[in-house]
Each structure stands twice: as structure tokens, then as C-alpha cells.
Homo-oligomer: A and B are copies of this chain.
Amino acid sequence: MHPSRGMDFTSHMEAALEEARAAQSRGEVPVGAVVVTQAGEIVGSAGNRTRADNDPTAHAEILAIRQACAHLGSERLTGCALYVTLEPCPMCAGAIAAARIAKLYYGASDPKSGGVASGARVFTHPQCHHTPEVFDGISERAAATLLRDFFAGRRGL
């Protein structure tokens, strides 16, 4: 399923890719995410920080959601969209549901660790009380290339 306003979603995904590149430059797995309001304002923006922060929950999505909630003064992000360069894991998919994110746009698929289209498929169970609209494959090549190069580099060390 693909949305209609092409310019918006590619520019928001580009902002997420910028966060992924910044994460890579810090030695983190290059994944980035942004939260965007219905009015098109970016209210949360983060890359992975699990190593820098010694925090296994510091995935890009979790950090961007926490930032957006703090900015908006709400534990719900009703109507907001989340753009992330990689298919969310089950932890992040659960956070997206808890935050009531309306639309999820992601780049590369993650058959090894994903929890949306793979594995736990968090949004498909009746125990998931909110399901976003999901748009996959957005800027997929750029997101996947970043990750492939990062892991190839680590294996080469």
C-alpha cells in the first residue's frame, strides 16, 4: 500500500536517513526515525543510540517517539506518522502501537529481526489494541545499502 503525497513522504524519509547516517558516524547500527504531525512538523528525530547510551531500548523509533511525546506533552501521538529506515523490531512495533501512531512508513525489510512483516508480526494479533497503516519499501535501497555497508565493514574488522 502506498500513500499519495509522494514529495512529503520521501522528504521525511530523507530526514530519517540523515539520522541513520549520523548514527553510523557514531559507530551505531545505522537506523534513523522521525515523527511527523498531521501538519507536517517533525516533532521527534533520532538515530540508534544503544551503545552511546548503554541502553538496549535506545532504538531510533523509541527515542523519536519519546522525544515527540515530550514535545507535545502527551503519551499519545494520535494522527502522527513515524518514518523509520528499517522495519521495526517487536519492541518498537509495540511502542508504535502504544503511542497510537497513525501511519508507519519504513524503508528496508528486516527478515532477520523485524516484528512487523516478519516473526512476531505485532500488529496482527487481537492483543494489539492499535494498528497503524503500514507503508513499506520507502527509500528502501538507500536504507538497505547503509545497513549492508555497515555490517560488511564490521565483518571486515
Contacts and interface: CB of A to CB of B under 8 A. Distances in A.
Contacts of A65: 56-57
A70 interface: yes
Contacts of A127: 89-90, 111-115, 118-120
A98 B59 CA distance: 10
A88 B136 CA distance: 27
Interface centre among A51, A53, A91, A92, by most chain B C-beta atoms within 10 angstroms, is A91
A69 B90 contact: no
A118 B128 CA distance: 11
B75 A128 contact: no
A99 B69 contact: no
Interface residues of A, number: 43
B115 A126 contact: no
Interface of A: 50-51, 53-57, 62, 65-66, 69-70, 73-77, 89-95, 97-100, 111-115, 118-122, 125-129
Given A54-B69, A118-B127, 5 more contacts: A54-B70, A56-B65, A57-B98, A90-B97, A91-B95
Contacts of A112: 127
11 contacts: A54-B74, A55-B70, A56-B75, A57-B98, A57-B99, A91-B95, A94-B115, A112-B127, A115-B122, A115-B127, A119-B128
